[in-house]
Each structure stands twice: as structure tokens, then as C-alpha cells.
Amino acid sequence: SVYPQLLDGKALAQRIQDQLKAEVERLKSTYGRPPGLAVLMVGDHPASAAYVRNKERACTKVGIASFGQHFPADVSQSEIEQTIDRLNQDPNVDGILLQLPVPAHLNAVYLLHKIDPDKDVDGLHPLNLGRLLRGERGLQSCTPAGVMRLLREYRIDLKGKNAVVVGRSILVGKPIALMLLEADATVTIAHSRTKNLAELTRQADILIAAVGRPNLITADQVKPNAIVIDVGINRVIDAQGKSRLVGDVDFDAVREMSQFITPVPGGVGPMTVTMLLQNTVFSYTRTHS
């Protein structure tokens, strides 16, 4: 078949979670408690609620204790700050995550600054972002870390390759670009103001789409034999009137001409959750070493 290999995030995530489960069991019997993760959610944003459920379910599967807190949409800034302070002090909590977005009356950036950098399992505290910028070890943002782990698993050589990252958010695009740079790729970051996007993407040996627009990347914008990573998650209504998830890449057309491609779902998404679990275990082992 001319079809390329799929970068199977779902299968890799499962393998890593099996290893984490065994490690958590060992840590629990050595130190007397499981690693703990607190996911803070504000309001009832349906997509966020689904992500939070997913994260908590994954914790349970590998034996990590969940200390989730769900606040009403009108919660005050100071109440969340107090909760973060308390969780920062709590010796049973190794990871704290604020599910974004939060309602507009809250200062999300300041809340992220409040989280103890050693418990910042989403890697969004300025100290951890600074470490990433310097190429130092630290807690790293889960989606970008998951992408890098997937590339490594399939032994994709990044040295000297042209990598184009479409999207420049602090959550996905920027940290992925920094990690690719650290891995010696030559990195271009594109965004909504980029001129001639197709011209850039056609030169990409590694193309990362992290935008949130279905079919933004079509086959004519992809270099033959490229490696395509689709971070986007978009809910669309298909021809049968059914709701389903797609990425930013026109998957059926692009898969025929690329060397490797991530499916949506089953590519980057499962890796993201798994890196969150891994960061929580990493943070636990650091406090016990």
C-alpha cells in the first residue's frame, strides 16, 4: 500500500500508562502514598468538562490519586488563589493543573503564577517556560512533550530538518517550536498573519498543525514524504449528519503523500493525557529523591 505509517499515539500512550501503573504501585509500597494530582476547573464549559473527566479517569487507571476541585463560574479570584495555596502546601499533592480557559473575570496568568513551579504539571509557570527556553530540564507542557515523545518513539530524525509549526499559542505552538529547536531542527513558526502559508508548509519535512481549523492543511500544502503532526481537535458534523472529531489536516488526502501522520482522534490527544500522568509521577519522585 502507498499508505504511510500512522503515528499511533493511542497505542504508545497505552504502553506508557502500563509502565506508569507499575511504577506508581512500586512508589506506593516504598513511600506509603500514591502520587496525587489536583485538577482545578471553573464553570461548565462542556469541552473542558470532558477533558477534566478524561484526565481524572486516566489518573484512576494508573493509580494516581485525584484531588479535583470544581468551582462555579462566578467563583472569586481569591477563592481559587487560596485553594492553590493550600494545594501548594499539601504533601499529598504532587501536581496542580488549572483547566483553561477560565471565565473572563479571573486573571488566569496570575493564577498560573501562583502554582508552585515544582507542582506545575502543565508546564505553564514562567519558571518552567524559562527553563524550556534555556533548554534546561523542567516540567514541560503536556501536548508538546507528547508530540516529541511520539516522534522519538518512531525514531524520526529531526537534526537539520525543516520543521514548520502552524500556531503560536503559549500552550502548544510556542513550546513545540522550542522543543524542535532544542532537537536541532530548523524551525519556522506560522500564525494567522503569516503570508503565503502554503509556500512555507510545502518546505516542511516536519509539519505541525496546532490551529483549531478543520481542513486548514490540504494535500497541496504538504511536501511529499513529510511527517505530519495534527494537534488540532475540531468537532464537525459529517455528511451523515453525525458529530465527529477531526484535526486541522485533511487527513484522507494528506495521508497518501506523507511518510508519517497522526490520526485524530488517536494521535496527539492520548499522548497529552499520558504526559500529564508522567509529569505528576516525575514531580513525586523528585520530592522523594
* Active-site amino acid positions: 55, 99, 122
Smallest distance, Å, CB 220 to ligand NDP?
A: 15
- Segment lying near ligand NDP (by CB under 6 A), choices 60-68, 109-117, 176-184, 187-195: 187-195
Which residue from 247, 265, 288 is spatially nearest to 24, judged by alpha carbons?
A: 288
Phi, psi of 244 (to 5 degrees): -150, 170
Cα–Cα distance, 150 to 267 (Å, whole number): 9
Query: Closer to ligand NDP at the Cβ: 143 or 283?
Result: 143
Query: Closer to ligand NDP at the Cβ: 63 or 144?
Result: 144
Query: Closer to ligand NDP at the Cβ: 27 or 98?
Result: 98
Nearest-Å Rg of the Cα atoms of the chain is 19
Cα–Cα distance, 86 to 278 (Å, whole number): 23
The annotation status of 244 as a binding-site residue, yes or no, is no
Which residue from 177, 220, 214 is spatially nearest to 202, judged by alpha carbons?
A: 220
Smallest distance, Å, CB 231 to ligand NDP?
A: 4
Could you tell me if residue 214 is left (phi over 0), alpha (psi between -120 and 50 degrees) or otherwise beta? Answer: beta
Distance of CA 38 to the CA centre of its chain: 17
Query: Closer to ligand NDP at the Cβ: 83 or 125?
Result: 125
The one among 53, 57, 134, 191 contacting ligand NDP by CB under 6 A:
191
Instruction: Return all residues near 98 (Cβ < 8 A) that are at least 6 apart.
Output: 40, 80, 84, 108, 111, 112, 115, 122
173 binding ligand NDP? (CB under 6 A): yes
144 binding ligand NDP? (CB under 6 A): no
**∠15-17-22 over CA atoms, to 5°?**
100
Coil, helix or strand at residue 131: helix
Per the listing, cell 473527566 goes with 53
Helices and strands (DSSP H and E) totals, the chain: 10, 12
Query: Closer to ligand NDP at the Cβ: 234 or 259?
Result: 234
Site string (241-270) toward ligand NDP, x via CB under 6 A: ---------------------------xx-
102 binding ligand NDP? (CB under 6 A): no
- Segment lying near ligand NDP (by CB under 6 A), choices 69-77, 88-96, 105-113, 161-169: 161-169
Cα–Cα distance, 123 to 174 (Å, whole number): 12
Smallest distance, Å, CB 33 to ligand NDP?
A: 29
Residues that bind ligand NDP (CB under 6 A): 143, 166-169, 171-173, 190-194, 197, 210-213, 216, 231-234, 268-269, 272
Residues tagged in the binding site annotation for NADP(+): 167-169, 233
